[in-house]
Amino acid sequence: MNFALAAAIPGWHHPGMTTNGLAPRSLAVDLLQGVLRRGKALDQLLAGSRDFSQLAARDRAFCRNLVATALRRLGQIDAIIDTCLERPLNPRSAPTLDILRLGVAQLLFTNVPAHAAVDTAVDLVRAARAGHLTKLVNAVLRRVQREGRAMLDGQDAARLNTPAWLWRSWEDAFGPDLCRQIALAHLAPAPLDVTLKRGLDREAWAATLGARPVGAASLRLFDPGPVADLPGYAAGAWWVQDAAATLPVDLLGDVAGSTVLDLCAAPGGKTAQLADRGACVTALDRSAPRMTRLRENLARLDLAAETVVAKAEDWQPVGPFDAVLLDVPCSATGTIRRHPDLPHLKRADDLAKLSAAQARLLDRAADWLRPGGTLVYATCSLQSEEGPHQIARFLARRPDFAQAPAPALTPGLEDLIDDRGSLRSLPSHLSGIGGMDGFFAARLIREA
């Protein structure tokens, strides 16, 4: 499993780096500390790091993948370190612990040569002015090199890498089998899915991109390299969007010629779908930088939408819409494959605040819909509070709304519609071909 996984991760094939290998590893330590000790999102840290942008392309890939792997496997890595240490490291030695974690990640989950993993870890400990710990780090990593694979065999990877509160919540919501399958799906990084513009020949584009068709309009790429270098990016033939993220728009049905409010729209995957299907779209989001990305994406794709930068709470439309798509801000636990930092950043008590904000947005969206119109509520969360419970509470306070079953999805995805007609995708769906993000969506109709 480990070598198979390593082979699937871009960057791991090139452990011989343009530097002596210390620069990307040293930055990896800073990034791991940024996530685990300062609570920052990995993507934000990467976007704001000059050191990262100045690395050679393959060092960047190596650094990012090293941190992502350490975060994805942190529970297993820490259990192994615990076994190898007589007593835990002093909290003041946090950088040394993070260097050890990255060393173990390289030894057990990549094909980096063992001597490179161990020697660079020892160099980093010395550079962190913890020279008194070099012997210890060397001894631990040598033992992991010898015994680590046997230790892995005895571990329950799904359980160890999942925080207890998330495990409990998925067991409650989906039962023990699906809970385990979800956690197992998180052990591998996600492939890259793109949505092809309507009217283009999917077979031909699949061949051009070396991709596999998934769902109704997605193409799936494995180990694709930089997105902007791929054929069709500059020409605006497609946009990046997980196959599951395309499904909430399908719940709106035919939108051609309809006025649609895309509330919480940025960076705009669903806005592009709506515009591509001929809707007259108003896209609103509170984040100006994310809306800049949305406008750039639409321009590249030669698609049009009216764009508004505003908080939904402070905005008022001129008249009601035929349809509203509300893709709420959420815990994003359906995207852990892409964001392995999430389980280390989110806490159970974040959910109450998120769910209250979602309810406020839902009430506002409901008022902006014409009688007889369709509101689709969507979230990339696996948590019941943000999905079915949110909809049950909404329907209890808004008797002028009823849930309608989702329209039939593409063959092969029918199982994603539950008994109530809601969409529920899980990371473990399509597991034979790379999985999909976890999404929940409900189609709500306002009384005519």
Residue closer to ligand SAM by CB (options 49, 287) is 287
Residue closer to ligand SAM by CB (options 98, 386) is 386
Residue closer to ligand SAM by CB (options 214, 376) is 376
**Residue 215 has which token pair?**
């769902």
Residue closer to ligand SAM by CB (options 104, 263) is 263
CB of residue 137 to ligand SAM, shortest distance in Å: 40
Distance between CA atoms of 360 and 394, rounded to whole angstroms? Answer: 10
C-alpha dist (Å) from residue 257 to 277, 278, 321: 9, 6, 12
CB of residue 227 to ligand SAM, shortest distance in Å: 15
CB of residue 321 to ligand SAM, shortest distance in Å: 15
CB of residue 313 to ligand SAM, shortest distance in Å: 6
Residue closer to ligand SAM by CB (options 142, 290) is 290
Say whether 179 is catalytic.
no
Residue closer to ligand SAM by CB (options 219, 376) is 376
76 contact partners, CB below 8 Å, separation of at least 6: 108, 152, 155, 157, 160, 161
- Angle of helix 57-72 relative to helix 74-84, nearest 10 degrees, comes to 70
The torsion angles phi and psi of 234, rounded to 5 degrees, stand at -65, -35
Residue closer to ligand SAM by CB (options 241, 422) is 241
CB of residue 235 to ligand SAM, shortest distance in Å: 21
C-alpha dist (Å) from residue 252 to 91, 208, 259, 303, 447: 52, 31, 12, 19, 16
CB of residue 290 to ligand SAM, shortest distance in Å: 5
Residue closer to ligand SAM by CB (options 103, 268) is 268
Distance between CA atoms of 278 and 407, rounded to whole angstroms? Answer: 19
CB of residue 183 to ligand SAM, shortest distance in Å: 23
Q: Which of 63, 84, 264, 380 is catalytic?
A: 380
342: exposed, middle or buried (C-beta count within 10 Å: 0-12, 13-18, 19+)? buried
Residue closer to ligand SAM by CB (options 265, 342) is 265
Instruction: Residue 261: name the closest of 337, 182, 373, 127 by CA.
Output: 373
Is the bond preceding 24 in cis, omega lying within 30 degrees of 0? no
- Contacts with ligand SAM by CB under 6 A lie at 264-270, 285-287, 290, 311-313, 327, 329
CB of residue 112 to ligand SAM, shortest distance in Å: 35
The dihedral region occupied by 257, where left means phi > 0, alpha psi between -120 and 50, and beta the remainder, is left
CB of residue 268 to ligand SAM, shortest distance in Å: 5
Q: Please answer whether residues 371 and 386 qualify as being in contact, where contact means their C-beta atoms are separated by less than 8 angstroms.
A: no
C-alpha dist (Å) from residue 410 to 213, 309, 405, 413: 12, 34, 15, 6
Could you give the residue numbers annotated as active site?
380
